[in-house]
Amino acid sequence: MHGAKRVIANASRFDPSGRRGRRLWLAAAAAAVVAACSPQGSGDGRVTAGKFHAIDVTGADYGTDFRLADPQGRERTLADFRGKAVLLFFGFTQCPDVCPTALSRAVEVMRLLGDDGTKVQVLFATVDPERDTAELLQAYTTTFHPSFIGLRTDLERTRETAKHFKVFFAKVPTGSSYTMDHTAMTYAFDPQGRLRLAIRHSATAREVADDVGLLLKGR
């Protein structure tokens, strides 16, 4: 749990409308990570250590669903993917580093799962809807795997969705352009559409494949 030591763990409330609120978001999410990593779990009795490599967030009151458009303009929710394990990642396409790494890992996870790889649905929700058009998302995600689906919405609902998933993001000006800071977790849902795991960026494809395999077995 190498990230835990740099965590500010005293914020539990946030105001997503402001910059400061976003900072608190980060702290709140980080605090949740610390709680989940401690042997006793988060205290609600539902977080169990040991079964999964990732952080078990089963029973969480956040991240229950989303309503986002695919590149064809169809509105998607978790119900569309029942029967599959869903891996949901928030990112942006102008990202040279963590986003391609996370999506490449997801490709490898599907490969490692063999026949069960077809029971995995990877979703890439953009936190940069101003630049990530439907066309760009479609080209980007399907370059990794033809089954991957890019999701987007307007800025307002992007903020609401991120808030609901405890995902931090912020625009950071650089030169004449901007980049995005964002939470680099992948969320895993079981075939019943329940949020189960928060997978850190440092997790290996093997670890994620093991965890997703368990979800597909109904664990």
Partner 1 sequence: MNSLSFRTSAIVALFAVWVNGAWAQVTVKDPWVRGTVAQQKATGMFAHITSTNGGKLVAGSSPVAGVVEIHEMAMQGDVMKMRAIPGGLELPAGKAVELKPGGYHVMLMELRQQLKEGETVPVTLVIEGKDGKRESVEVKAPVKALTTQAAPMQGHKH
The one among 11, 35, 107, 112 contacting partner 1 by CB under 8 A: 107
User: Which residues inside 56-95 make contact with partner 1, applying CB under 8 A?
Assistant: 93-95
The one among 139, 154, 192, 217 contacting partner 1 by CB under 8 A: 139
Q: What is the C-alpha separation between 16 and 157, in angstroms, rounded? A: 12
Residue 6 CB coordination number (10 Å): 7
Cβ closer to partner 1: 186 or 193? 186
Q: Which residues pair with 55 in a beta bridge?
A: 198
- 163: part of which helix (H) or strand (E)? helix 155-164
Site string for partner 1, 156-175 (x = CB under 8 A): ------------x---x-xx
* 3-class secondary-structure state, position 205: helix
The answer to whether the beta carbons of residues 124 and 141 sit under 8 Å apart is yes
Look at residues 125, 141, 143 and name the one whose alpha carbon lies nearest to residue 88.
125
Cβ closer to partner 1: 193 or 197? 197
The one among 151, 184, 214, 215 contacting partner 1 by CB under 8 A: 184
| Smallest separation, CB 106 to partner 1 (Å) | 10
Q: Which residues pair with 125 in a beta bridge?
A: 90, 151
Please tell me whether residue 147 binds partner 1 under the rule CB under 8 A: no
* 3-class secondary-structure state, position 49: coil
Summarize as ranges the residues that interact with partner 1 (CB under 8 A): 2-3, 6-7, 26, 29-30, 33, 93-98, 100-101, 103-105, 107-108, 131, 133, 135-136, 139-140, 143-144, 168, 172, 174-177, 179-185, 200-202, 204
